[in-house]
Chain A
């Protein structure tokens, strides 16, 4: 059982506290949705959990050890991070991009070997992109690129995966596909934190939601308990249709709520 926890962390971007005294944790097998309006601090919190930005106060721990005390490579093997900006800068073949997920597992001068290639191939097969293996990574559609980058993260076989808006820019089919994969990962024991703007997906797939507002946790818990009409109005300034379908809660943003 692996547990990644932020204990009362404050992360400053310049003078502003983008994350202000937040505690949150994820364990093996959980799929947690990190939600909140633009600028609420979701990406900063995720970067803090990934150890990419050091908190000004509080600490992030992996199995009770401070992240800062864990070696870079060890941390890279255990925590996967999928950034929001999915730019791939050179026209590498897709397979090479996916293989980069194996970097933390290679010795300083090793090249990826047959077992690494097999793991990368399995990740590509799981995301239905095996036929893209030789395609230049700069010539992918948005949906293909999102799946390639997710496959890259999966190839690292992390214990905890932190994914920042992995469904941004995808059509409904591919949104559902990516979310089903993340749910599948959680079902097989990986802990997953996913930043989402799509409240319908968040309510449908995440067992637990953390709602951020202006750098603080506004609510945390089961989707139905977090996404109340009052909170949606106060924090997102929207009104939503809500209900249950096939045993799951759904939320459908319907109209804006005027200020005040």
Chain B
């Protein structure tokens, strides 16, 4: 997916390397060093998440009641919680969970955005009208309130969270895809394809989709940060991923909260990780947007 967009963007400028993604990365590092750094930090967290099972020094639920609430030390770099569980290990597994939820939910959201956005933007007329009014209605409600109510109905759990977050951000994001489709649709080559009798599906796949891809990629990137925050918020309220699964959000809530006064380090690590991950992906997304989509620059 990203290769495609990189191709689009870097093709007119330089085609030195046979790998467009390498060209693009080079451009990112040169023009947006901060964005590149953000991307790198995010990759590190992604790596930690993927290999949590290997890196983590202890298991998620290895309890050692003799070593409860120990301050950070060599054997427990981030200390232990009120059940004597290693905080670092739980943070690493928390990263795993966050990343799984983030990629799946943001992926689902992007697919929904593309389908709704393409249909609404390309066909226009009544289809557009109906879809847009439904999106309007959906967006009237605060994300978190909608999430809380829906989760209270379907119950907490990883698959539910992924589907709900995907729907929530997918529907909201379809606006952005639609806007982009509407402008691409007016291009000469689209009209040419239509006048040659190209079928709608073919035109959509061949002409429209590749041209809205930069917008889609930026959308996907920004959604990852939003999804991570939303999942953490839900877990914090006790409506996200149910315990004993370690999530950054739930590590800041529940019974652990009462022990934070005895072990302040318990309050630091999960929140700090959340902030760093979301910050880095946002910075990366901003840089990506500046490079890929000049129209959205600075928004």
Does B associate with A? no
